[in-house]
Amino acid sequence: MSREGADHALRQRGEERDRISGDLLDLESHTTFQLLKSTALRGRTLIVWTAAQQAVTTLWALYDAYRGVLRQAEEVRARRARPGPAELEELTALLAGPSVRPAPENLPVERRSLRPPPTQGLTLDETVARMDEAFRATADALREIDAAWTAFLPPLESAATRLGEITRLTAELGEPPLAPGHEEELARLRSTAAADPLGLSPADLDRLGATLDSRLAELSRADALRQSYGPRHSTLIQLLEQVRTAEAEARRTHAAVSVKILLPPSTRPLTVADRLAADAAALPGADAPAGGWVERARRLSGAERAAREALTRARTTTSALLGLMARRDELRGRLLAVQSKAVRVGLAEDPETARRFTRARELLWTAPCDLNQAAEAVENYQDAIQRGRR
């Protein structure tokens, strides 16, 4: 190695040493690193962290040996302003040869041997590569544990908040408490998330979260009902009156249409207003004793839903029945329009087309009218006119 080469190598290695030193200090000052050092870990997280600590120990041992070789090389270079062959040979051996001999690892008993450890040295490049491997292993462990903490701790804190809200609402509404065991399960999950986040199952957290969400939603609906029960109950009574009116209209329309249109039994309107009114009457009044709000919310919501469905069904039935009348009138109009066309093209007196016209007219002007047969008869008459024109 020439003097210029040695000086260049020393400058590069010095910059490399400073950069590695900064990275090592950043690693050990990392928030997760410091937290893990002060946390009583267990389970899989302890295994991963123990391996990471061993990697850090190896990293510092390699770094100390690496730094010692550079310090030795700097001392050799400082002997003379212009190093001679002996100094250059020594610098070459330090900077390019297997000059790094880290201290032997303090291995556990199960990994030791009575034979002396190998004394083969490492080059500076090999030492940096091993330091990088140990650094990456430690960083990966920190990343894995930190990701687990990030994934589990906030949801668990949220679960604790929801559990507190459930406890408050349960007391205010006079409802039975949440089934036993959920507080203990939350405490267990929080303890596991703190000491062994890598051993925590997301499924456990999901199950607890789903239970808390369901119960809190139920209690929140009941609490909202408690504050609006009177107006909602009154609105339900008014809605049931609309159902009664709509069902009466559907019955009247059915009776009127059934005289003119042949109707299948399935078109007969349902009458549920009386039953729904009885269910609504069975609901506790606004002045009923406190408590039971969850069940009261279920019953009121069910009654509201049933009333809305009945109102929609009755109005739809009326609209469909009137639509049948409109369909009959539309077919009558089509038949007369086709007859006018037959007259214009000279087919009105044709025996076959006349027969088809008579058949369609009888069906459309006979009560009750079979709309399916009438529509088919109109189509047949129209087809006859079109074929006759060709």
Chain segment 302-358, per-residue pLDDT in tens: 999 999 999 999 999 999 999 999 999 999 999 999 999 999 888 888 888 999 999
Which helix or strand (DSSP H or E) is residue 39 part of? none
What is the rounded CA–CA span in Å between residue 383 and residue 390? 11
Average pLDDT over every residue of 210-228: 85
Is pTM beyond 0.85? Reply is no
- Domain end (from 95, 125, 148): 148
199, two tokens = 């051993």
**Number of folded domains in the chain?**
4
- Domain end (from 122, 148, 174): 148
Q: Are residues 131 and 99 part of one domain?
A: yes
Q: Are residues 142 and 7 part of one domain?
A: yes
Q: Are residues 242 and 164 part of one domain?
A: no
Q: Are residues 200 and 302 part of one domain?
A: no
Q: Are residues 308 and 182 part of one domain?
A: no
Give the 3-state secondary structure of residue 163.
helix
What value does the mean pLDDT of the chain take? 88
Average pLDDT over every residue of 61-87: 89
Please count the other Cβ atoms lying within 10 Å of the Cβ belonging to residue 192.
Answer: 21
Look up the domain containing 276 and give its range. 229-324
Residue 288 banded pLDDT, cuts 50, 70, 90? low
Give the model's pLDDT for residue 84. Answer: 83
Q: Are residues 49 and 113 part of one domain?
A: yes
- Residue 80, exposed/middle/buried by CB under 10 A (0-12, 13-18, 19+)? exposed
Least confident range of 7-21, 150-164, 276-290, 296-310: 276-290
Give the model's pLDDT for residue 106. Answer: 63
Q: Would the pLDDT of 139 be above 70?
A: yes
Q: Are residues 130 and 14 part of one domain?
A: yes
Give the model's pLDDT for residue 26. Answer: 93
- Domain end (from 148, 165, 186): 148
Q: Are residues 24 and 57 part of one domain?
A: yes
Q: Are residues 330 and 319 part of one domain?
A: no
Give the model's pLDDT for residue 119. Answer: 59
Q: Are residues 282 and 255 part of one domain?
A: yes
Q: Are residues 350 and 304 part of one domain?
A: no
Q: Would the pLDDT of 390 be above 70?
A: no
Q: Are residues 335 and 251 part of one domain?
A: no
Smallest CA-to-CA distance from 136 within 58, 69, 43, 64 is with 58
